[in-house]
Structure 1
Amino acid sequence: MQETTILWADDEIDLLKPHILLLNDKGYKVTTFTNGNDALDAFKKGYFDLVFLDENMPGLTGLETLSEIKNISPDTPVVLITKNEEEHLMEDAIGSKIDDYLIKPVNPKQVLLTIKKLTENKRLISEKTSMAYQQDFRNLGMTLNESLSFSEWVDVYKKLVFWELSLEKLEDAGMHEILTLQKAEANTQFSKFIEKNYLNWVKNPDEGPLMSNQLLRKRLFPALESNKPTFFILIDNLRYDQWKIINPLITEHFRMDEEDTYFSILPTATQYARNSIFSGLMPLDMEKRFPSMWQNDEDEGGKNLFEEQFLADHIQRTLRREVKHSYTKVLTFEQGKDVVENLNNLMGNELNVIVYNFVDMLSHARTDMAMIRELANDEAAYRSLTLSWFEHSPLLEALKKLSQKNVKLIITTDHGTIRVKHPSKVIGDRNTNTNLRYKQGKNLNFNAKEVFHIKNPHEALLPKLHVSSSFIFTKEDGYFVYPNNYNQFVNYYNETFQHGGISLEEMIVPYVTYSSK
C-alpha cells in the first residue's frame, strides 16, 4: 500500500518531534516546515495526502496558508492546530473549508485518529461494511428458507435495500455479486409466497397486507385534519430504494413522522394499481361501478383519465362528507412550475393530491432512448438519475415552499419497477396486451414454471375480457417475449426497467408521512 504523505507546518516544529517520530514509525511520511510560505512552496511542487497547519505562524498565518492550499487543491484535507478556542476563529476556519482542528497541546493519539479519519476513512468504512454484510448474509439466507409473513417480507426487502445502498459506495465487486445473487433468491421465494397467498388476500382482505385499494381508506382519510392541509404526492413508479435516496433531501425541510409500506395489487401497472388507489376499488369493481370510465387493456385511449372522478367518488363514499380537495397531474416541467406558483391557492383545501409522472417516464425512456440507457445502465445509476431529477425538479421547489407552512405531507407511489434479465416465451392472439410483465387474453401459451397463472380473473377481482380469458404474471426478473421475433425483442428489452409482474421491487412500495418542522 502506498504510504500516506503529510505536510506539517508549525513555527515550533521542534517541540513536535515525538509526534513526528511516532508517525514515521506508523508508516507515514511527514515533511515539516516552520512557516506558511515554505509549506506553500512545497505543496505547489509535491503531492501530500494531508496537511497540518499551526494557526499562529509568523508571515503567512495558518488560515491564510489554508486558503491558498484550498485554492490549489480543494480536496486535500487540512487540519488547523490552534491554542485559540475563540468562536470567530472556528467560524473563519470552517468558512475556509477546514476539515478538522486540534487544540494545543496536541495528543499523539489525537493526531493519529485525525489522520485515520481523514485519509483512511473510506477504507475503514469499506472493510467494516463488507464484514457486517458477510455476517448478515448468513442470517438473511436462513430467513429466506423460513415461512415468512407479509410483514417479515417487508423487513427482508428493507434489509436488502439497506445493504444495496451501503455496498454501492464500496469498490468491492465480490460483495456486489453476492448481494445480487441473494436478492435474486429473495425474489424467487417472494414470488412463491405471492402465488400461494395473493388470491386469499383478495378474498379475505383482513388477512393480508395493506393493498392499493385500501390505501386511502385506511391510511389517508383517517389522518385528514380540517385545520391543516394534507398534500398527498404520488410519484409514479417510485421504488423503495429510490425513495430512500431522495428522502434526505425531503427531511432537510420536513420532519419524517412515519415510514410505512404497502403492497401494490396485481398487475403492478399504472392503469390497475393507481386507479385502484384513487377509486378504493379492485379493477373488477371499478369496471362494474364505472363502466364508461374503466378502460381494459384492449380498449383504445388513455387508461388513467378519470382518477380525479374516482377520487371524488371515493371520498364521498367513504367519508360521507364534503372534503375540499384538489387533484393535479404533472407530466411536464412546466406543469411542475405551475404547481409551485399555485401552492398558496391550494392551502385552503383539506386535501391536495398531486401525481408526478417523472420516474415512470424515466423507466420508459430508458427502454426507448439509447442515451438514457447509457446513463442508467445499472441499479445505482438508475437511482442516481432519480436523485438528480429530484434535486433539480419543481417538486423539490414546491416542497421547500410548503415546508414554510403548517401542512401534512405524504410521499408515496403506485408500484415499483424491476430490471428484467430473463426472457420468457409466450404465445397469444392479436388482442393480447403489450405489457412485458403480465399478459391477459385467451388461449395463452406459456411456460407454467415461469409465471403466476390466474385462470379465472374474477378470483383476483380482475375484469374478464372473454369467457376464456386468463392472466399470467412474470416472476422475479423475467419478461415476456414472442417466439417469432425473439432475438430482436431480447436485444431491445433485456436489462430495461419494467413493471406489471411479481417482485419485491414492484409490489412493496413506500408510504411516508411528514410534517412541517
Structure 2
Amino acid sequence: MSNISLLWVDDEIDLLKPHILFLEKKGYEVTTCQSGTEALEVIENQNFDIIFLDENMPGLTGLETLTEIKAIKDHIPVVMITKSEEEYIMEEAIGSKIADYLIKPVNPNQILLSLKKNLDHNRLVTNKTTSNYQQEFRKIAMDLSSVDSYEDWVDLYKKLIYWELQLENIENTGMLEIFEQQKVEANNEFFKFIENNYESWFTPESEAPILSHTAFKQYVLPEITKEQPTLLVVVDNLRYDQFKTFENIIQNYYKTKEDHTYYSILPTATQYARNAFFSGLMPSEMEKLFPQYWLNDTEEGGKNQYENEFLEAQLKRLGKDINYEYHKITSLQKGKRLADNFRSQKNLDLSVVVYNFVDMLSHAKTEMEVIKELAGDDKSYRSLTLSWFKNSALLDIIQQAKQMNFKLILTTDHGTINVKTPTKVIGDKNTSLNLRYKTGKSLTYNNKDVYAVKDPKKIHLPSINMSSSYIFAKSDYFLAYPNNFNYYANYYKNSFQHGGISLEEMIIPLAIYDPK
C-alpha cells in the first residue's frame, strides 16, 4: 500500500490531521495543500493516484480547481468533499467526471471506503466475481446433467452469458478459461438435446418452442396498432451476448416492455432463418408456395432478395391490413440515408429495418486481416459490435423513433459461433459450401460431429434432389474437405460462422420496448 499517494486539498487542512494520520498508518502517502492554486502547482510536478478536493475554498473554488486538474491530468480520480448539499454543485461535479462525492463532516472510514472503491476496485471485484462464479460453476455443472427442455436451455444460456459478461471485466484470466470449458461442455450437451428433440418439434401436439417461422405472428404482430407506429429492427447475425452489450444504450431512450427469446430453425443461416421469420413459413413451404422467390443452396442468385414480398404475403395470409415499409441496410450510405429521411415513417403502422452490418462484419472476418485482429474472440467481437452500434446510423434511427413515439422491437435471425474444431466431410460438386452445414447427396462425415437428417421433409427443408440429406455441425466444429484440409482448417479456425447447432446460433433475443 505504501506506493499509493494521495493529494488532499482543503483550506482547513489542519483540522483534518487525525484523518491524515489514520491514512498514513494504513500505508498511504498523503500530500496536503490549502488552496486550488497551490494544488495545481503540485500536480504539475508530482504524480498522484487520487485527489481529495474541498469544494468550498477561497480563491479558486473546488469546481474551478477540478476543471483545471482535468485539463492537466485527466486520468487522476478526484473525490469532491463539500459542506453543501446543493443539487447544482453535485451535478456540476458529477458532470465533470468526479470519482466520488462526500458530504462533510467525513469520518476516516468513509475516506478509506472511497479509496478502496476507486483504487482497489479491480482487485475487489475480481475476488468477489471469482468467488461467486466458483459457487455458480458447480450449480451450472449440475444443471447441465439434468436440463431437458427448451425453456431450461434458454435459462441456462442466459445464465452463462451473464457470467461471461461478468468474467470478461476481471483480471483473473484463469477463471475465463474455466468458463470457456464450461461453455463448450454446455454446447456439447445442447447439441445432444437438439439432435434428440428437433425433429419432434414439427409433429402435431408437440411441446415446441417459438421458432423462426412463428416468431413474427407470436411476438411482433400483437404489438402493431393503428394508434402508435412500430419500428421493427432485425439486426442480422446478432448473438444474445452482443445484444446484451448494447441494450443499456437503447435503455437511455426506451424502457423494456417484454424480453423474449425464440429458437432459430436449422440451418441457422440467413436464407433459411430470416426468410422463415418474414414469410411465417418453413423453407419447404416457401419452396412449394413461392418457387419464384425461393432459391436452394446450389442455385445461382441472391437468397434473401424477397423478404419484403414474403412479409407482404404473410400479412395477407393472416388477414392483416398494415401500412408498412421495408428497408434493408447493407451499407453505411443506406443507413445514413434512412436516418436522414426517417421522419417520413411517422404515418406508417410499421417500419421494418433489416440491418446487415453484423453479418457483413462476421463474414469479412475470414477475409480481412484487420477484422481478424479486431475480433479474434468473443470478447473482442462484442466490443467491436458495441463500438459499431454507438456510432451507427441505427442508433440515430432509434433515437429519432423515440422522439416520434414509436414502439421498438429488436431482434435477429440467428447468431454465430467462433469455430475452433475442423471435421472432415466429403461431398460431390453439388454439395453446398457453408462451413457449419451441408446439403447434398452421398455425404460422408464423422457421425459424432454432426446432426444428420436423411429425410429433409421431416424438418421441413427442401431437397435439392431425391437423395439429398442435411448435416449440421455441433458446438464449435466446422466442416472441411479432405483436399487441402490443413490449409482450410487453419484458415477458418477462430472465425465466426453460422448454420450449425450451438446455443449462440440458435437462441435468439427479441425485445419489445416502449419509448421513455
TM-score normalised by L of structure 2? 0.97
**In structure 1, what is the equivalent of residue 255 of structure 2?**
255
On the 8 A contact 2:416/2:505 being kept in 1, the answer is yes
**In structure 2, what is the equivalent of residue 429 of structure 1?**
428
On the 8 A contact 2:362/2:496 being kept in 1, the answer is yes
**In structure 2, what is the equivalent of residue 348 of structure 1?**
347
**In structure 1, what is the equivalent of residue 22 of structure 2?**
22
SS in 1 for 2:404: coil
Deviations 1:351-400 (A, max 9, x none): 22111100000000001111111111111111111111111111111111
Q: Compute the displacement of 1:486 (Å).
A: 0.4
Query: Given the superposition, is the C-alpha separation of residues 112 and 292 from structure 1 closer, same or farther in structure 2, using an over 3 Å criterion?
Result: same
Deviations 1:178-199 (A, max 9, x none): 1100000000000000000000
**Amino acid of the structure 2 residue aligned with 1:403:** K
Work out the CA distance in 2 between the residues paired with 1:107 and 1:274.
Answer: 60
Q: Compute the displacement of 1:105 (Å).
A: 2.1
SS in 2 for 1:98: coil
Query: Given the superposition, is the C-alpha separation of residues 205 and 495 from structure 1 closer, same or farther in structure 2, using an over 3 Å criterion?
Result: farther
Work out the CA distance in 2 between the residues paired with 1:223 and 1:53.
Answer: 52
The 5 A counterparts of 1:17-56 are 17-56=17-56
Work out the CA distance in 1 between the residues paired with 2:92 and 2:297.
Answer: 64
1:514 and 2:498 equivalent? no
Q: Compute the displacement of 1:103 (Å).
A: 2.5
The 5 A counterparts of 1:246-395 are 246-318=246-318, 320-395=319-394
Q: Compute the displacement of 1:423 (Å).
A: 0.3
**In structure 2, what is the equivalent of residue 413 of structure 1?**
412
Greater alpha carbon shift after TM alignment, 92-101 vs 489-498: 92-101
SS in 2 for 1:207: coil
**In structure 1, what is the equivalent of residue 486 of structure 2?**
487
SS in 1 for 2:403: coil
Query: Given the superposition, is the C-alpha separation of residues 10 and 351 from structure 1 closer, same or farther in structure 2, using an over 3 Å criterion?
Result: closer
The 5 A counterparts of 1:146-161 are 146-161=146-161
Work out the CA distance in 1 between the residues paired with 2:225 and 2:62.
Answer: 56
On the 8 A contact 2:365/2:496 being kept in 1, the answer is yes
Work out the CA distance in 1 between the residues paired with 2:345 and 2:417.
Answer: 35
**Amino acid of the structure 1 residue aligned with 2:86:** E
SS in 1 for 2:328: strand
**In structure 2, what is the equivalent of residue 440 of structure 1?**
439
**In structure 1, what is the equivalent of residue 116 of structure 2?**
116
Work out the CA distance in 1 between the residues paired with 2:469 and 2:434.
Answer: 15
Segments of 5+ residues of structure 2 without an aligned counterpart are none
Q: Compute the displacement of 1:11 (Å).
A: 2.8
**Amino acid of the structure 2 residue aligned with 1:72:** I
Work out the CA distance in 2 between the residues paired with 1:328 and 1:96.
Answer: 41
SS in 1 for 2:155: helix
**Amino acid of the structure 1 residue aligned with 2:493:** N
**Amino acid of the structure 1 residue aligned with 2:447:** A
**In structure 2, what is the equivalent of residue 464 of structure 1?**
463
Q: Compute the displacement of 1:118 (Å).
A: 1.8
The 5 A counterparts of 1:151-190 are 151-190=151-190
**Amino acid of the structure 2 residue aligned with 1:199:** E
Work out the CA distance in 1 between the residues paired with 2:323 and 2:103.
Answer: 60
Query: Given the superposition, is the C-alpha separation of residues 104 and 398 from structure 1 closer, same or farther in structure 2, using an over 3 Å criterion?
Result: same
Query: Given the superposition, is the C-alpha separation of residues 440 and 2 from structure 1 closer, same or farther in structure 2, using an over 3 Å criterion?
Result: farther
Q: Compute the displacement of 1:54 (Å).
A: 2.5
1:97 and 2:105 equivalent? no
Q: Compute the displacement of 1:119 (Å).
A: 1.5
Greater alpha carbon shift after TM alignment, 275-284 vs 22-31: 22-31
Work out the CA distance in 2 between the residues paired with 1:491 and 1:24.
Answer: 56
Q: Compute the displacement of 1:67 (Å).
A: 2.5
Work out the CA distance in 1 between the residues paired with 2:57 and 2:231.
Answer: 56
On the 8 A contact 2:122/2:171 being kept in 1, the answer is no
Greater alpha carbon shift after TM alignment, 488-497 vs 426-435: 488-497
Deviations 1:127-155 (A, max 9, x none): 11111111101000000011421011001
SS in 2 for 1:340: helix
On the 8 A contact 2:200/2:206 being kept in 1, the answer is no
Query: Given the superposition, is the C-alpha separation of residues 116 and 344 from structure 1 closer, same or farther in structure 2, using an over 3 Å criterion?
Result: same
Work out the CA distance in 1 between the residues paired with 2:219 and 2:186.
Answer: 28
Deviations 1:399-446 (A, max 9, x none): 111101222111000000000000010000000010000001111011
Query: Given the superposition, is the C-alpha separation of residues 59 and 346 from structure 1 closer, same or farther in structure 2, using an over 3 Å criterion?
Result: closer
1:397 and 2:392 equivalent? no
Work out the CA distance in 2 between the residues paired with 1:270 and 1:26.
Answer: 60
**In structure 1, what is the equivalent of residue 138 of structure 2?**
138
The 5 A counterparts of 1:182-201 are 182-201=182-201
**In structure 1, what is the equivalent of residue 217 of structure 2?**
217
Greater alpha carbon shift after TM alignment, 189-198 vs 375-384: 375-384
**Amino acid of the structure 1 residue aligned with 2:200:** N
Work out the CA distance in 1 between the residues paired with 2:165 and 2:492.
Answer: 25
SS in 1 for 2:386: helix
1:233 and 2:233 equivalent? yes
Q: Compute the displacement of 1:100 (Å).
A: 2.4
**Amino acid of the structure 2 residue aligned with 1:333:** L
**In structure 1, what is the equivalent of residue 84 of structure 2?**
84
Q: Compute the displacement of 1:60 (Å).
A: 3.8
Query: Given the superposition, is the C-alpha separation of residues 16 and 373 from structure 1 closer, same or farther in structure 2, using an over 3 Å criterion?
Result: same
Q: Compute the displacement of 1:115 (Å).
A: 1.4
Segments of 5+ residues of structure 1 without an aligned counterpart are none
Work out the CA distance in 2 between the residues paired with 1:303 and 1:63.
Answer: 60
Work out the CA distance in 1 between the residues paired with 2:386 and 2:95.
Answer: 27
Work out the CA distance in 2 between the residues paired with 1:503 and 1:114.
Answer: 44
SS in 2 for 1:145: helix
Query: Given the superposition, is the C-alpha separation of residues 205 and 78 from structure 1 closer, same or farther in structure 2, using an over 3 Å criterion?
Result: farther
On the 8 A contact 2:232/2:353 being kept in 1, the answer is yes
On the 8 A contact 2:2/2:29 being kept in 1, the answer is no
On the 8 A contact 2:231/2:401 being kept in 1, the answer is no
On the 8 A contact 2:267/2:437 being kept in 1, the answer is yes
Work out the CA distance in 1 between the residues paired with 2:156 and 2:202.
Answer: 23
SS in 2 for 1:403: helix
Work out the CA distance in 2 between the residues paired with 1:66 and 1:406.
Answer: 39
Q: Compute the displacement of 1:24 (Å).
A: 1.5
SS in 2 for 1:433: coil
**Amino acid of the structure 2 residue aligned with 1:56:** N
TM-score normalised by L of structure 1? 0.97
Query: Given the superposition, is the C-alpha separation of residues 91 and 189 from structure 1 closer, same or farther in structure 2, using an over 3 Å criterion?
Result: closer
**Amino acid of the structure 1 residue aligned with 2:503:** L
Work out the CA distance in 1 between the residues paired with 2:223 and 2:398.
Answer: 20
Sequence identity percentage: 53
Q: Compute the displacement of 1:30 (Å).
A: 1.3
Work out the CA distance in 2 between the residues paired with 1:141 and 1:218.
Answer: 33
Work out the CA distance in 2 between the residues paired with 1:247 and 1:92.
Answer: 28
Query: Given the superposition, is the C-alpha separation of residues 87 and 287 from structure 1 closer, same or farther in structure 2, using an over 3 Å criterion?
Result: closer
**Amino acid of the structure 1 residue aligned with 2:389:** F
